């Protein structure tokens, strides 16, 4: 196991009715003027936004609200929010929603703390991020894990690039997680969330220096739980037990535990980011379309690792490692198909020309400035071959 420092400071308030506790939590972290950020109208129609606002007001917290965050959130919108509220003396940013809302809130918090710097300059590391405002979360979907992670991902409409920023300033100080709030998540988004949780785990599991017993066992158990309860939640959307397991697994899959002591890979996320940047497809679908062809392209670099995944997650019985590895890949693909997400580029976005593939490669390599991957380093030609094999 490699040396590591583990720090996961987010306070989790889990269970039914916990949204009503939001105001007290904001107050406990010295918030007095909060900016609530949300997405579409669902939190308004459900009454959740009113619950949160009333809780803040009862706690003596002044609040401002702004909605409109879209999937695959834009840094330009985050910048617009920060610019529009910099004179209001905001001292706390509260995300009410899922991963896109939370990632936007993180960016806004950075922008409000440093109003003279463009948020995209922090994301591209042109400027160092040295301070931010505290962030809280009222979570409405089991998916991205952003509620407990140090990550955020945004797209620049101006450049066409989607990229992430990893910093401890991205850690929310608290996350309120009520499984009941996920009951109304549309089936497509529930399926995408299941994929995202699995892929946050797999992109850590397939590392060049993997094999840590505790970390592996934790990751494998988490994936088994998500696979089982994902099926249940899709069939019975108001199954509290299944929704609870998914909600907690989403957080654990992205707070660092499932890859502790080994190098992060996240190749499939990079391949998927290019797809969602160009085609604006849901993040989970960009991952389900990318993983199968990536796995087939790289599995021979560590057949034993793929065989272990197949046996411990999918109960594959083949004794030959290569046969087991292939069976595990196929089991993953079948599960994705069963829950209704695409498993090829063509299924995800339709027909792609050579020019489209070249543009995806250009986006994925940040305009030819990087290779991707740690499990197997992939240059532009590798990435092109992977995308073409998925047609």
pLDDT in tens, 197-244: 999 999 999 999 998 999 999 999 999 999 999 999 999 999 999 999
The confidence band for 364, taking pLDDT boundaries of 50, 70 and 90, is very high
The confidence band for 40, taking pLDDT boundaries of 50, 70 and 90, is confident
Supply the pLDDT for residue 1.
85
Inter-residue long-range contacts of 76-81, CB under 8 Å, 24+ positions, other chains counted? 76/156, 76/157, 76/158, 77/104, 78/104, 78/107, 78/108, 78/111, 78/119, 78/154, 79/107, 79/111, 79/118, 79/119, 79/120, 81/35, 81/37, 81/108, 81/111
Mean pLDDT of the chain: 97
The confidence band for 121, taking pLDDT boundaries of 50, 70 and 90, is very high
Rounded-to-integer distance, Cα 6 and Cα 356, Å: 40
Q: For residue 122, which of 63, 174, 165 has the smallest C-alpha distance?
A: 165
- Tell me the torsion sign for CA atoms 50, 52, 58, 60: negative
Rounded-to-integer distance, Cα 40 and Cα 51, Å: 16
Supply the pLDDT for residue 112.
98
The confidence band for 254, taking pLDDT boundaries of 50, 70 and 90, is very high
pLDDT 10s digits, 98-112 = 999 999 999 999 999
What's the whole-number mean pLDDT along residues 23-41? 96
Is the pLDDT confidence value at 162 over 90? yes
Q: Which residues pair with 154 in a beta bridge?
A: 163
Is the pLDDT confidence value at 41 over 90? no
What are the chain's domains?
A: 11-181 (3.40.50.1970), 187-389 (1.20.1090.10)
Task: Take residue 97 and report the two structure tokens written for it.
Answer: 């929603």
In percent, how much of the chain has pLDDT > 70?
Answer: 100
């Amino acid at each position: 196991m490699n040396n590591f420092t583990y720090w996961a400071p987010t306070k989790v308030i889990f269970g039914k009715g916990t949204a009503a506790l939001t105001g007290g939590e904001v107050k406990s972290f010295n918030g007095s003027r909060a900016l609530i950020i949300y997405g579409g109208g669902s939190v308004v129609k459900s009454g959740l936004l009113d619950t949160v606002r009333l809780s803040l007001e009862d706690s003596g917290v002044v609040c401002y609200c702004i909605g409109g965050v879209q999937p695959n959130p834009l840094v330009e919108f985050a910048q617009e929010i920060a610019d529009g509220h910099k004179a209001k003396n905001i001292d706390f940013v509260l995300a009410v929603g899922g991963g896109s809302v939370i990632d936007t809130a993180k960016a806004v918090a950075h922008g409000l703390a440093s109003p003279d710097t463009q948020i995209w300059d922090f994301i591209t590391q042109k400027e160092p991020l040295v301070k931010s405002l505290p962030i809280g979360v009222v979570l409405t979907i089991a998916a991205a894990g952003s509620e407990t992670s140090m990550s955020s991902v945004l797209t620049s409409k101006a450049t066409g690039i989607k990229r992430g920023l990893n910093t401890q300033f991205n850690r929310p100080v608290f996350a309120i997680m009520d499984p009941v709030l996920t009951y109304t998540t549309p089936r497509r988004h529930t399926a995408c969330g299941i994929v995202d949780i699995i892929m946050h785990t797999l992109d850590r599991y397939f590392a060049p220096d993997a094999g840590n017993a505790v970390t592996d066992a934790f990751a494998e158990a988490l994936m088994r739980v998500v696979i089982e309860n994902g099926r249940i939640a899709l069939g019975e959307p108001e199954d509290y037990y299944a929704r609870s397991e998914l909600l907690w697994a989403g957080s654990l899959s992205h707070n660092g535990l499932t890859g502790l002591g080994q190098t992060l890979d996240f190749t499939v996320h990079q391949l998927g980011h290019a797809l969602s940047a160009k085609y604006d497809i849901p993040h989970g679908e960009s991952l389900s379309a990318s993983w199968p062809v990536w796995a087939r392209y790289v599995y021979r670099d560590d057949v034993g690792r793929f065989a272990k995944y197949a046996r411990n997650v999918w109960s594959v019985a083949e004794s030959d490692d290569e046969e087991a590895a292939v069976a595990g890949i196929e089991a993953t693909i079948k599960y994705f198909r069963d829950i209704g997400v695409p498993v090829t580029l063509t299924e995800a976005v339709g027909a792609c020309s050579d020019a489209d593939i070249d543009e995806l490669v250009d986006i994925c390599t940040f305009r030819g400035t990087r290779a991707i991957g740690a499990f197997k380093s992939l240059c532009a030609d590798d990435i092109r071959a992977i995308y073409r094999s998925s047609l």
